[in-house]
Amino acid sequence: MGRSPCCEKAHTNKGAWTKEEDDRLIAYIKTHGEGCWRSLPKAAGLLRCGKSCRLRWINYLRPDLKRGNFTEEEDELIIKLHSLLGNKWSLIAGRLPGRTDNEIKNYWNTHIKRKLLSRGIDPITHRSVNEVEVEGEVIPSPTPTTTTSISFGATIPKLEQDLHDHNLMTNSRFAAITGSKSEERNPGYRCPDLNLELRISPPSHQHQPEQLKSGGIIVNSNPCFKCSFGMQSGQVCKCNTFDSKGNSSECSNIGFHDFLGLRGSATLDYRTLEMK
């Protein structure tokens, strides 16, 4: 049994929007506001799919959209954000007022990719195209190339604070996940020029006999890489874990680890990362 279609495909217009359709959509949203896209077309008298209305509004009709070419500053900001976030266009768009994810995605594919390649930078990895990776270690090109460097400075880990605020994890739990020591306040989570703080880092791959108590629950500080990234969701993991005495045992948690080792509802959502 499949999901019902989002709209009556047979009775909806497709393709380019007409001026009249735009006017109808603008008028409706001005009166009733955004939201409930599914019922909007009918209510607004549009023969369009709700998705199509949403897209048209967000990407083209919204009054706060900035029109015109991207500036050099915007270019550089997009490059930096992409190096941190990857193809998370909506997150990148969130840092560029008046720009939409679709616009940035298109701009990236048509302009910035080429720009980076002309600088000798791989637009996917943001490394010099001459760099080679040998067994996980990056060997830089012998000839220096211009690269976009992301500088990280020491700061109070903001996400850690956020997570505390939401009772999601303790200092030690966070430290376990990030590999930092809570007392040391391991630096390296802030990009000052972007004012963007990120707390995502892969957990240690080394199994060490260390356990942490979090909210009364014993958690293994070093689950296997797969476990930590929640890749075996719903399946029994067969990796080895260590108890408090350092004894190895088979990890048999079913759906225990979520992304970054957070449990249950304590999942880390990109969108919850605060952007100033």
Residues that bind DNA (CB under 7 A): 1, 3-4, 6, 13-17, 35-38, 49-52, 54-56, 59-60, 87-91, 101-103, 105-107, 109-111, 267, 269, 271
Question: CA 197, CA 135: separation in Å to the nearest integer?
Answer: 29
Would you say 11 or 14 has its CB closer to DNA?
A: 14
Would you say 89 or 174 has its CB closer to DNA?
A: 89
Tokens representing 70 are: 């991207």
Would you say 6 or 139 has its CB closer to DNA?
A: 6
**Closest by CA position to 177, among listed 231, 221, 227, 232:** 221
Spell out the long-range contacts of 78-81 with Cβ–Cβ below 8 A and sequence spacing 24 or more: 78/104, 78/107, 78/108, 78/112, 79/112, 79/116, 79/126, 79/148, 80/148, 80/150, 80/191, 80/193, 80/194, 81/194, 81/196
Question: CA 8, CA 43: separation in Å to the nearest integer?
Answer: 15
Would you say 151 or 252 has its CB closer to DNA?
A: 252
Nearest distance from C-beta of residue 29 to DNA, angstroms: 12
Nearest distance from C-beta of residue 57 to DNA, angstroms: 9
Nearest distance from C-beta of residue 87 to DNA, angstroms: 4
Nearest distance from C-beta of residue 144 to DNA, angstroms: 29
Would you say 41 or 203 has its CB closer to DNA?
A: 41
Nearest distance from C-beta of residue 224 to DNA, angstroms: 20
Give the bridge partners for 218, in sequence order: 213
